[in-house]
Structure 1
Amino acid sequence: MELPVFLIVLMAALLHASWNAFVKMNDDRVLFMAVMMAGSGLAAFIATTFLPLPTVESWPYIATSVALHIGYPLFLLMAYKFGDLSHVYPLARGSAPLIVALVSVLYIGDVLSSQAMVAVMIMAFGIMSLSLTRGAQDLWNPKAVFFALGTGLFIAAYTLTDGIGARLAGSAHSYTAWMMGLEGIPFIVYILITRRARALPQIARVWKVAVLMGLMSLVAYWSVIWAMTVAPIALVAAVRETSIIFALLFGVFFLKEKLSLMKLASTFMTLFGVVLLKMNRS
């Protein structure tokens, strides 16, 4: 992976952690996420007017990605219902790069060196080991683990779908604009249907920050999809998941959360994988 691409994906990881921190701090996460998605979707639709249409071959991938992006938060919310954030989120985000790496190498034809594969595995296990920071008791909760790993499957599925679709679309920018534009519609429709008359005053309270975070989300994932057209999908997916390290640092420095020895060890393990990945020459 070229250095400029590597740095762009790291920037996307930082942006991803940033908007996730705002979602986590909001009392009404479902509403906040819906307004976020609507804001990013509107911006993406505006961008489509300046871009060529994606190729016909890429439209099934766009439709599949939209469906997967709807299933992902549903599984994530169910995982949070049965397990703590500190256990669920690392399992979901850490398992995804391993799945992406295996599928992209075995079925898509991406080529990874042994060093790159080892680096991806180290990063994934470093991220997943954060699940142990409060003890392993929740890891034996079958429902929490099922939905957390299910969330990881959704992440891997939409990552692979978008990586392939963007390569077929003729333009990663056109693919992203249409995919993210369509993605926002179901969320805002859900809020308007379920909350009816309460929706507009509730939206009015959060829309400024939510739309800003939506634009941040748009830039972050737009960068990732572009990167997957110029670098192996597995490597982009692995570097992107360093967002959990940024999230951990936000928690320590801004939310005054404690940094345990286990968290520190997991962080260094993940960062070692990042360094090993960047040193890879093939």
Structure 2
Amino acid sequence: MTFWVMMAVLGSAFLHALWNSLIKVGASRLGAMIILSIGEVPIGLAVAAMRPTLNPAAWPWVLAAGCAHLFYKSFLTYAYEHGDLSRVYPIARGTAPLIVAVIGPLLALAFPTQMAADSLTFHEYAGIFVLGCGILLMAQGVFANGESRKLLPFALGSACATASYTLLDGHGARVAGDAIAYVAWVFVVDGLFFATGMLLWKGLTVLPRQAKPWGVGFIASAASYGAYGVSVWAMTIAPIAVVAALRETSILFAVLIGWLAFGERMTKGKALAAVVIVGGVILTRI
């Protein structure tokens, strides 16, 4: 991996942490997430228009992934309502690869014709152990520092949804034959599902009336797609495992943003837990 590709992947990691931090800007986390979802639709359509027509067999996977994203955003939104970015993000982001690493091979055994089987290596088992320790350490900090315990089920729910769409995307992109087109349509479906569902449930009053939240939301949409696009580009010219591992520095970026931008309390335990989670994720992905 060249220096400039490495810097691009680090930029992708920062963008992922950035769009999550932008959701915490303003009074309404739900309103911010709806705006982000609305912004995803034109971005996805613009990218899809420049790609080949999607394989019809991929549409069930696109719809399933869109549903998984609906739950992911819902859980993540309410997790941020109850907890700090520097606490929620590492738990949600770190638990997802742990679930994929454990559940993926089991699903491959149960559905051998639908999913490719991947046997776990020693370092992946080591990564799962380290990940578990880091997540437990981060979760323990919630109880030790008197933070709202309500963030935990929402953060873990977000992680489960992330693991779900990760497993769906792995097969869906292969069926589609064009990963970029597949993800573009997932963005469109995801944005429509979440924005429409939340507006029907909560009504138009949940949307901010000021211009600033809309601007921030659309910036978050662009950052979200940019984070993914840069990663996909990097994986075409550098080892996929190295790119995937390096991108997990987003956890550290989120912790730093929470501390420096939002004034969230930074304890030694939180910092150590974040580093342990990053180390575990890297082990599972190398």
Q: Normalization by structure 1: what TM-score?
A: 0.78
Conserved in 1, the CA contact under 8 Å of 2:94 and 2:135? yes
Q: In structure 1, what residue type is equivalent to 2:216? A: V
2:117 alignment partner in structure 1: 109
Which of 255, 259, 267 is 1:260 aligned to?
267
C-alpha distance in structure 1 between counterparts of 2:140 and 2:72, whole Å? 23
Q: Secondary structure at the match of 2:209?
A: helix
Shift of 1:111: 4.6
CA 1:212–1:176 in structure 2 vs 1: closer, same or farther (change >3 Å)? same
Partner of 2:140: 132
Aligned partners of 2:146, 2:89: CA distance in 1, in Å? 12
Shift of 1:136: 4.1
Q: Which residue of structure 2 lines up, in the alignment, with residue 76 of structure 1? A: 76
Partner amino acid for 1:104? G
Tell me if the contact between 1:95 and 1:128 (Cα under 8 Å) persists in the aligned partners: no
**Which is further off, 219-228 or 248-257?**
219-228
- The separation in 1 between residues aligned to 2:255 and 2:87, in whole angstroms, is 13
Q: Distance in 1 between matches of 2:146 and 2:88?
A: 9
Q: Offset of 1:31 from its aligned partner?
A: 1.6
Cα shift readout 1:75-133 (whole Å, capped 9, x = no counterpart): 3345556x534655443332211111123334132354312442354245325522233
1:148 corresponds to which of 133, 142, 155: 155
Measured in 1, the distance between the counterparts of 2:281 and 2:89 equals 19
Residue matched to 1:167: 174
* SS in structure 2 at match of 1:202: coil
Distance 1:177 1:159, change over 3 A: same
Trace 1:21-32 onto structure 2 (pairs within 5 A).
21-32=21-32
Q: Residue type matched to 2:76 in 1? A: L
d(CA) in 1 for partners of 2:105, 2:8: 23
CA distance in 2, matches of 1:38, 1:185: 7
Contact 1:98 1:124 in 2 (8 A): yes
Q: CA deviation at 1:33?
A: 1.4
* Counterpart position of 2:47: 47
Note the alpha carbon deviations across 1:2-45, whole angstroms, 9 max, x for none: 78987765443321111111111221221221111111221110
Q: Which amino acid aligns with 1:220?
A: A
Structure 2 CA distance for partners of 1:92 and 1:251, relative to 1, 3 Å: closer
- Structure 1: how far apart are the matches of 2:276 and 2:248? 13
| 8 A contact 1:57–1:168 mirrored in 2 | yes
- Alignment of 1:216 with 2:215, yes or no, is no
> Any conservation in 1 of the 2:71–2:161 contact (CA below 8 Å)?
yes
CA distance in 2, matches of 1:128, 1:221: 28
Give SS of 2:262's match.
Answer: coil
Consecutive unaligned residues in structure 2, runs of 5 or more: 109-115
Equivalent residue number for residue 181 of structure 1: 188
Residue in 2 that maps onto 1:35 = 35
Change (3 A) 1:182 1:5: farther
Aligned to 1:157: 164
The one-letter code of the counterpart of 1:165 is: G
**Alignment RMSD (CA, Å):** 3.6
Q: 3-state DSSP class of the match of 2:24?
A: helix
C-alpha spacing 1:111/1:239, structure 2 compared with 1 (3 Å): farther
Give the number of equivalent residue pairs. 273
Is 1:87–1:139's contact at 8 Å kept on the other side of the alignment? Answer: no
* 2:14 alignment partner AA: L
* TM-aligned CA deviation for residue 203 of structure 1: 6.2
93-102 vs 204-213, which deviates more?
Answer: 204-213
| Cα gap change, 1:162 to 1:35, in 2 (>3 Å) | same
2:252 equivalent in structure 1: 245
Residue 110 of structure 1 aligns with an amino acid whose one-letter code is D
Report deviation, 1:177: 0.9
Against the structure 1 CA distance between its residues 129 and 35, is the aligned structure 2 distance closer, same or farther, given a 3 Å change threshold?
same
**Deviation digits for residues 46-96 of structure 1, max 9, x if unmatched?**
111111122233211100010111112223345556x53465544333221
Moved more, 255-264 or 210-219: 255-264
Q: CA deviation at 1:216?
A: 0.7
Match of 1:213, as an amino acid? Answer: A
Spell out, residue by residue over 1:155-182, the C-alpha distance to the aligned partner (whole angstroms, 9 max, x if none). 1001111122112211111101111022
Residue in 2 that maps onto 1:66: 66
Counterpart-to-counterpart distance in 2, 1:270 and 1:97: 10
